[in-house]
Structure 1
Amino acid sequence: MDYREWLGETARELLRVPLNTEQLDLLYRYYRLLVEGNKKMNLTAITDEKAVFVKHFFDSLTPAPHLSFSEVDSLIDVGTGAGFPGIPLKIAYPHLRLVLLDSLNKRVTFLRETVAQLGLHGVECVHGRAEEVARRPLFRESFDVVTARAVAKLNVLAEYCLPFVRVGGWFVALKGADIEEEVGQARPGVRTLGGKAPDSISLSLPEGMGKRHLIFVTKERPTPKSYPRKVGTPVRNPLHSS
């Protein structure tokens, strides 16, 4: 089966994301680069073509029906790993100014090579920790949308991500099936960081490949200058427990 054709049809029907032949070919080339890169380093536990197209590519595009990405100018993907959801969103919305942020230099090297081989423009791959990069004037509160997928619990993620979001922008966390306790624990910290109370949307991946949640946080006020705290502090001492 040609999963390019499947993704084109499924993304259009379920997500209202139109992907042309060139975009679908780019995603297939990205899949091949991912499989090759995975032989050298641990990028993903999922290498089966169908599973990559569903659990990585389709999953990365699930925020699209809920945010008007055609009107989004800038996006930073925090803890991007092998490039999810940032690269699939960039392929679907080529106008996006994208920053891919990861703390492991080997992954950032893979991302730079991948972006170059795919011919993607307006993409910057940054090596660093979110707690430090979010304090750089060029990055702080300068993005329309900040995404994170399977990086940490929401109370930790919020401190990593909300400092990057401009007031009026969005933090979007792509999460698994069980999030109620996590969202409840994160609410006080989200408010401290300038965010509105989180909204969550549940969804099922096609082909019976699992349940997911999207968590959306609108940035209402500037993040206090004392956040994010020093590297490692958000994990050791999440805001709800401080």
Structure 2
Amino acid sequence: MNQITIPVLPQMNELWQQTLNWQPDESQQQQFQRLYELIVEGNRSLNLTRITDPIEFWEKHLWDSLRGIARLLPANSSAGKNPELPLQSVQKAIDIGTGGGFPGLPIAIALPHLSVTLLDSTRKKITFLETVLPSLGIENAATLLGRSDEIARGAQHKQAYDLALLRAVGAASLCAKCALPLLKNGGLAVLYRGNWTVEEETELQRAIERLGGTIESVEAFTTPTSQGARHCVYLRKVVQQFDRPIR
């Protein structure tokens, strides 16, 4: 079998700093490089991603993953730019429909004190991620096989997470239905979107009213190298009047 020559990822420290007020240390950069290598190798047998060019991979998998939780990155955690986002209280996160590990793996690398659950319903992808975690030396992430609606019925996962991440999962209303039952009261869901329309927001608003959620904010931005349009929609899990208090 021919050996694949995998290029070195660009470090992009200046762009990291300019756009997220953060940049990876040497160890994190090495983990990003190893993740890139594993994804390219895994693509030989699994359909993990069509994005394998190093600059595209940096922007559309690494940078894009971390842009959604930028306020949680160490340099930003005390900046107070967006006090509506939880900063110190986030301990447990779940990446719903993680696929090849995005955005969960880059977030686990950038935030080593955050416990990240990588959830997917495809056994082959979970098996792949189970080999990736020890290869990257990541101890703050674990895999979970299943569907979000099924695991939300279990006591271990229902209302157990501070943060839910959904990227390329489906319609925003579907994302809300997947995420909100897994969040603690006061927890936050981050929906990674491309374009965002008034119609989508109206449909989402109708869906979350029944689920105990509210649209806290919508952030529009462009990607730093290709200038692509992106949005992050932040949903807050709120206590409803008919909810029983958690003791």
- Is TM (by shorter chain) over 0.5? yes
For 1:36-75, list aligned pairs within 5 A.
36-67=41-72, 68=77, 71=88, 72-75=90-93
- 8 Å contact 2:8–2:54 — kept in the other structure? no
Work out whether 1:215 is the aligned partner of 2:221: no
For 1:1-242, list aligned pairs within 5 A.
3-6=9-12, 8-67=13-72, 68=77, 71=88, 72-221=90-239
Query: C-alpha distance in 1, partners of 2:136/2:28?
Result: 10
**Residues 76-134 of structure 1 deviation map (CA, whole Å, 9 limit, x = unaligned):** 00000101110001100001111000010000011111011001002110110111011
Q: Please give the root-mean-square deviation of Cα atoms over the aligned residues, in Å.
A: 2.0
For normalisation by structure 2, the TM-score amounts to 0.85
Query: C-alpha distance in 2, partners of 1:54/1:223?
Result: 42
Query: C-alpha distance in 2, partners of 1:79/1:18?
Result: 26
Q: Which moved more, 1:12-21 or 1:39-48?
A: 12-21
Query: C-alpha distance in 2, partners of 1:222/1:152?
Result: 26
Q: Which amino acid aligns with 1:216?
A: Y
Give the fraction of aligned pairs with identical amino acids, expressed as a percent. 33
Q: Which residue of 1 aligns with 2:80?
A: none
Aligned length: 224
Cα drift, residue 70 of structure 1: 5.9
Query: C-alpha distance in 1, partners of 2:40/2:68?
Result: 25
Higher percent of residues as helix: 1
* Structure 2: gaps spanning 5 or more residues: 1-6, 78-85
- 8 Å contact 2:10–2:55 — kept in the other structure? no
